[in-house]
Amino acid sequence: MFSSFFSSFHAIVPMACVVASALAAMAAEAFREPDEKMPIGPLGLVGLVGAAVSTVVLWNRQATSFGVVAADNFGLFVTGVLVVIGVLALAISAPTVERERLPAGEYYALMLFALAGMMLMATASDLLVIFLALEVLSLSVYVLTGIRRDSSRAAEGAFKYFLLGAFSSAFFVYGIAFAYGAAGSTRLDRIGRLMAAQALAPNAWQLAAVGLLLVGFAFKVSAVPFHMWTPDAYEAAPPAVTGFMSTGVKAAAFAAFMRVFLSAFEPLAPRWSGPVAVVAAATMIVGTVVAVAQTNVKRMLAYSSIAHAGYLLVALVAGNDLGKGAVLFYVLVYGVSNLGAFGVVALLETRDRPHDRLEDFAGLHQRHPGLALLMTLFLLSLGGFPPLAGFVAKWYVFSAAIASGSIWLAIVGVLTSVVSVVVYLRLVVMMYMTPATQAIEVPTPPRLAATAIVTAGVLIVYLGILPTRVLDWAAQSIRTIF
């Protein structure tokens, strides 16, 4: 009896490790003397290592907890991606926390609680649990966005994010209510059986549930026209937080998006795939075109992240095995590339200036050739240049769209990718071909943060040249639920 009782907790072990490390960070902050330096960040790394080990142990075991959390290979793959994102985010956060004297315990605890919410969102098999996970990660990210309490810009960005987030949560809750009214349950497997039985003649409640849940997810992935909060929140937050929420939130949201729409609501795909395809095309176009006009690097990467959400929606619309695997591979590649880019921005920051304007990067290869080279790798990967990982990710996304018959969507994706070259190469030209107009001191990067960014650069090259193993893991993981 006891063994079966404890086995019901196996699926939540990875997020339990992260929550434990968050509580340890809070306790360390509470007992720390005012002038005492305590390594609180490494406590989070310990929890993430525990989550990584438990993820490996649970692989292929199909563990479930209380029928609402499923540690299937799909959820575990996304959990592994979130562990990578978490490690990189914690590592590049150290310089910002120390330089701006942010409350370290609060900062790291919020980041870890957000990660726990993301992991729960990726593994939840019940709409109410997905909503609870969404709120856990959202509330943590709202506070992280405005953690610079003396900055009016940070307060504005956090307030906008909070208001629009609350607005989207209302849509999501109404969608859950309609789904419950139609199926009599919030469990995804039961909803899926009802949808399959009534796929030929869905009623108004089912269609309302699909539409409202789609709005809720579209906000979290920054899809057009629900993207208005993104540039202000990204610019207001510290670069490490911006990189974290632009990658982790997107990975978790797309994992839940796939589990809901490609599993429970898959029988209604003919009804929702058309509107999602239009949203995907608009997201790619708006994100890319507006990014070209930006002069602030953080806002430029914000609009770039909107465009990348559009590419992921293309794979979601495709709905075939190639598209499902492409989403998982893409969130990993995008997460490493984008976090690496924001990591470079974080290392260039000083107490006096953020150094996040395009002109601040002029002549960077002369002042710090290593950072310039790494930033170039991340930008070229985001732009989809071979032989880097971003090229492979986009190749599989567009191949999935063509295989599913959505050729026009693939054409829009390719054209916007070509336009995005202007966005990324403009910054590369600034670093290598534009002389510096002013002498900007480049701080010496801390060893942990520098190691994390170099590791991200190595991963981008490795996944571009030898992506097969990770693609096989992604293909294996989708077979567990689809």
Mean pLDDT by groups of 10 residues along the chain of 482 residues: 58 92 89 72 90 92 82 92 95 85 88 95 93 93 89 86 89 93 89 82 86 92 87 87 92 93 88 93 94 89 92 92 91 94 87 77 85 93 92 94 92 93 90 75 78 94 93 86 67
What is the pLDDT, as a whole number, of residue 1?
45
> The whole model's pTM is what?
0.94
One-letter amino acid at 347 equals L
pLDDT for res 116: 95
Q: Residue 42: is it exposed, middle or buried by C-beta count within 10 angstroms (0-12/13-18/19+)? A: middle
CB 467 within 8 A of CB 386: no
Give the list of residues 6+ apart from residue 10 with CB closer than 8 angstroms, or none: 58, 61, 63, 65, 71
Q: Are 154 and 284 in contact (CB under 8 A)?
A: no
Say how far apart CA 94 and CA 111 lie, in whole Å. 12
Distance, CA of 196 to CA of 405 (rounded, Å): 23
Separation CA 243–CA 48 (nearest Å):
18
The CA distance from 88 to 84, in Å, is 6
Number of domains in the chain: 1
Which residues form the domain of 186? 2-478
Whole-angstrom Cα distance, residue 119 to residue 121? Answer: 5
Instruction: Read off φ and ψ for residue 376, nearest 5 degrees.
Output: -60, -45
Report how far Cα 263 is from the mean position of its chain's Cα atoms.
21
Identify the pLDDT of residue 2: 42
Residues 6+ positions from 16 with CB-CB distance below 8 Å: 9
**Phi/psi at 61 (5° precision):** -95, -15
Distance (Å, rounded) from C-alpha 293 to C-alpha 300? 8
Cα 12 from Cα 51, distance rounded (Å):
10
Which pLDDT belongs to residue 436?
72
Instruction: Give the span between the Cα atoms of 154 and 147, in whole angstroms.
Output: 7
Rounded Cα distance between 306 and 230, Å, is: 8
3-state per-residue secondary structure call for the chain = CHHHHHHCCHHHHHHHHHHHHHHHHHHHHHHCCCCCCCCCHHHHHHHHHHHHHHHHHHCCCCEEECCCEEECHHHHHHHHHHHHHHHHHHHHHHHHHHHCCCCHHHHHHHHHHHHHHHHHHHHECEHHHHHHHHHHHHHHHHHHHCCCCCCHHHHHHHHHHHHHHHHHHHHHHHHHHHHHHHHCCCEHHHHHHHHHHCCCCCCHHHHHHHHHHHHHHHHHCCCCCCCCHHHHHHHHCCHHHHHHHHHHHHHHHHHHHHHHHHHHCHHHHHHHHHHHHHHHHHHHHHHHHHHHCCCEHHHHHHHHHHHHHHHHHHHHHHCCHHHHHHHHHHHHHHHHHHHHHHHHHHHHCCCCCCCCEHHHHCCHHHHCHHHHHHHHHHHHHHHCCCCCHHHHHHHHHHHHHHHCCCHHHHHHHHHHHHHHHHHHHHHHHHHHHCCCCCCCCCCCCCHHHHHHHHHHHHHHHHHHHCCHHHHHHHHHHHCCCC
Please report the pLDDT score of residue 7 as a whole number: 60
Q: What are the structure tokens assigned to 385, written together?
A: 């240049």
